Amino acid sequence: MPSEPEQDRAARLVGALPFAAFTVDAGARVRVFNAAAAALFAVDPARAVGRAIIELIPSVDLERMLRAAVAGETSTRDIVLWSGARERYVGVTAQPYEDGAIAIAADRTALLAAERMRSDFIANVSHELRTPLSAMKLMLETVHAADDDAEARTLFLPQVGDEVERMIRLVEDLLELARSESGTIPMRRERLDLGDVAAATVHTFAQRAGALGIVLGLDAQTAVEVDADRGRLTQVAVNLVDNALRHTPSGGSVVVEVACDGRDAVLRVRDTGAGIPFADLTRVFERFYVVDRSRSREGGGGTGLGLAIAKHLVEAHGGSLVAESEYGRGATFTMRIPAGTPGAKVKAP
């Protein structure tokens, strides 16, 4: 057994570590609980000493790891803790130490979530690319097998062209999303009327809305000036109106509203479509997330990245983009960005 001075030195060493660490005796009772561990596990270190680890951290897995470490076994694994209704994943390494055991811990919740997002992203991209590539391969094989059949070429080659365009749009959206997420997206700010952006967008979609039997309207009664990138805001507005038209049935309506609310310039797109289920509202801005393709008037015509890109573009302007819906009674997407300061000059990029 180590001497008293050696125990004190060991305690000071563990206490000074910049990462979460604690030691227990042979009975899994706490000897030292450093400040980083106290912050990680929300435990008062002064009251931790002498108490069983299971009293402080309610994890049977952690207690088993420490008892195994006391017996001479070193192990590393993630333990699951609950913070309210949210799961937390804490990576723990436990090993023998001073007639007891020492544990080193780190919160891996964000890292594991990022890894899941990366894995899902790769799977989604692979799926989105594989579908048109498989269709193109089949159509080209058919044209090749038909030798000099003009009818086969006329039927399939335009479809191959459509699939190529679909892949080009996907790649362009992926690049745009990567730039917006990394904060490197170029911005060319100028003083402009947000109502002009809305009016131009409504004009762009007027013919399509008419063909679908949807009433597309504009409510922009006063000028709302902003210091913003016209092209990027147009991109946001186009995405929101396109999304609304794809999810609104014939006979319905889509209204684009522009207003000033305190210090915020607001662009709001309301539709009378099927709406969004409550459980999906918090996820509609995720990459490739689709609520229900069967709800779309024109099927899955988008790349599944538009809303994610729009949200990043709005946030790049210092604003927010939120979705509201009562399922079965339409959806509303609201963009808020800072309104322009009267008399202020916009610096050139």
What pLDDT was estimated at residue 4? 53
Structural domain total, the chain: 3
Q: Determine, yes or no, domain membership for 223.
A: yes
Classified as helix, coil or strand, 344 is coil
Containing domain of residue 237, as a range? 189-338
Q: Determine, yes or no, domain membership for 284.
A: yes
pTM for the model: 0.57
Same domain, 330 and 221: yes
Interatomic CA distance for residues 197 and 238, integer angstroms: 9
Q: Determine, yes or no, domain membership for 349.
A: no
Residue 258 half-sphere exposure, CB side, CA atoms within 13 Å?
22
Pair 267, 227: CB distance under 8 Å: no
Same domain, 9 and 100: yes
pLDDT tens-place string over residues 277-328: 887 887 888 877 666 544 444 444 555 677 888 888 899 899 999 999 988 8
What pLDDT was estimated at residue 332? 94
H, E, C per residue of 276-300: CCHHHHHHCCCCCCCCCHHHCCCCC
Give the CATH number, domain containing residue 241. 3.30.565.10
Write the CA distances from 73 to 7, 131, 268, integer angstroms.
22, 49, 60
Pair 336, 343: CB distance under 8 Å: no
What would the DSSP string read from start to end of 80-112? EEEETTEEEEEEEEEEEETTEEEEEEEE-HHHH
Name the packing angle between helices 230-246 and 306-316 (round to 10°). Answer: 150
Interatomic CA distance for residues 45 and 38, integer angstroms: 6
Same domain, 334 and 197: yes
Same domain, 334 and 193: yes
Residue 134: alpha-carbon gap to chain centroid: 29
What pLDDT was estimated at residue 124? 66
79, 107, 135: which is the final residue of a domain? 107
Q: Determine, yes or no, domain membership for 175.
A: yes
pLDDT beneath 50, residues of the chain: 293-300, 343-349
Q: Determine, yes or no, domain membership for 348.
A: no
Same domain, 131 and 79: no
Partners of residue 75 on adjacent β-strands: 94
Write the CA distances from 12 to 39, 49, 51, 53, 95, integer angstroms.
18, 14, 19, 20, 18
Q: Give exposure, 204-225, as e/b (b: 16+ Cβ within 10 Å).
A: ebeeebeebebebebebeeebb
pLDDT tens-place string over residues 233-255: 998 999 899 999 988 999 999 99
Same domain, 18 and 81: yes
Same domain, 91 and 225: no
Same domain, 141 and 48: no
